[in-house]
Amino acid sequence: MSGGGPPSGGGAPSGGGPSGTGPAVRRVSTAVYRFPAPEPEADGTLRWDATTAVTVRIEAGGEVGLGWTYSTGATAAVVRDHLAGAIEDRDAFDIAGGWSAMHRACRNLGTRGLVMQALSAVDIAWWDLKARLLRVPLGALLGRCRRTVPIYGSGGFTTLSDAQLAEQVEWWQSVGCTAMKIKIAESWGSRVDRDVTRAHQLRQAAGPGTQLMVDANGGYHVGQARRVGAALDELGVTWFEEPVSSDDTAGLANLRGILRCDIAAGEYAADLYEIRALLPVVDCLQLDVTRCGGYTGWLRGAALAAAQNLDVSGHCAPALHAPVAAAVPNLRHIEWFVDHVRLEPLLVDGVPDAADGALHPDLDARGHGMTISRQAERWCVG
Ligand SMILES: [Mg+2]
């Protein structure tokens, strides 16, 4: 690109087309990174020993945009085989048009789940690319109604010892978190007594001023969730996430009508139809930028939630959520999730700092300000 400030008037970056258009998207590439967990981890309904990040790089006009999703290696094949061809040679400023082209190209594959994770990574890379082409921070392009983004501490796996949980709480306190979340519904809701005991341990470790949050990952049935929820209400828990499966909207509605704590869900929502189905049965909508269609899908989902007078909360991937979470008025917070907080600085340079209970994005960075780190090669598997 030629030097100078942001293009003004009819100025377009080098390689651009007629006035108002951008350079053409030239190359879409992927990589897969596998980060082992320090020890096997589990929530109520799943166990894992590693986290896989699938990155996407998009090139246009001499700039490179970077996005990623937390998924599986097959996501990279979806990008290469089905999405890249839909956007190569398109105007790099036309993200909305490219998003629709990718969505249409995957009609016969199904457009949710893994396909939407792939599309999300491309969309994130594309917004980063566009901001870099315009030589502005991504926050300036998405909008910025706050300079810092509130976070809550998240982890508290069912596999942790009491001492490990206490250590996590101390860590969250060290960055100023005043809300903290642990996993419950251990072994598909078969250890309810321990679930409630651990919630009490969280209260004891975190102190009386901390907002307590729990996530059952859909591990209870409605009756169990009602009984556990009554104990959580007594303890002052403010957030009960996926008490039952997110697919059980009738169950969520039932619990929302009975319990005092907020009911939250939405981490698997892939599109506006799935978001619309959840809005009447949650108190706060969770949205995951790596699963719901990238920044494009997240902004649309947040607008839909606003029409229902609901806040949104970013699910996992804190560094990726920071710019878009700063752009919506109806944000409650984003999730400072232990696995992702651990691996993000290994994957990329430029992760926003956490302090005073918030992420502090670099307001002068180009794009989202993150680039693949040199050490990431160590975890690259494809
Ligand atoms: Mg969850």
Show the domains of the chain with their CATH numbers.
27-135 (3.30.390.10), 140-377 (3.20.20.120)
**Average pLDDT for residues 100-112, to the nearest whole number?**
98
> Is a pLDDT exceeding 50 seen at residue 6?
no
Contact 141, 130 (CB under 8 A): yes
pLDDT tens, position by position, 223-281: 999 999 999 999 999 999 999 999 999 999 999 999 999 999 999 999 999 999 999 99
In whole angstroms, give the CA distance from residue 353 to residue 147.
Answer: 13
Residue 9 has pLDDT above 80, yes or no: no
Whole-number Å distance between alpha carbons of 301 and 164:
36
Instruction: List pLDDT tens digits, range 121-164.
Output: 999 999 999 999 999 999 999 999 999 999 999 999 999 999 99
Those residues with Cβ within 8 angstroms of residue 241's Cβ, 6 or more apart along the chain or in another chain: 181, 213, 214, 215, 216, 217, 263, 264, 265, 286
Distance from residue 266's CA to the centre of ligand 1 (Å): 8
**219-228 as b/e: b if 16+ CB within 10 A:** bbebebbbeb
Q: What is the pLDDT of residues 293-352, one digit of tens each?
A: 999 999 999 999 999 999 999 999 999 999 999 999 999 999 999 999 999 999 999 999
Q: Which residues have CB atoms below 5 A from the ion given as ligand 1?
A: 215, 267
Q: How far is the CA of 228 from the centre of ligand 1 (A)?
A: 17
Q: How far is the CA of 65 from the centre of ligand 1 (A)?
A: 28
| Span from the CA of 380 to the centroid of ligand 1 (angstroms) | 27
Backbone angles phi, psi at 184, to 5 degrees: -130, -165
pLDDT, mean of residues 197-207 = 98
Q: What is the per-residue pLDDT for 360? A: 97
Q: What is the pLDDT of residues 33-68, one digit of tens each?
A: 999 999 999 999 999 999 999 999 999 999 999 999
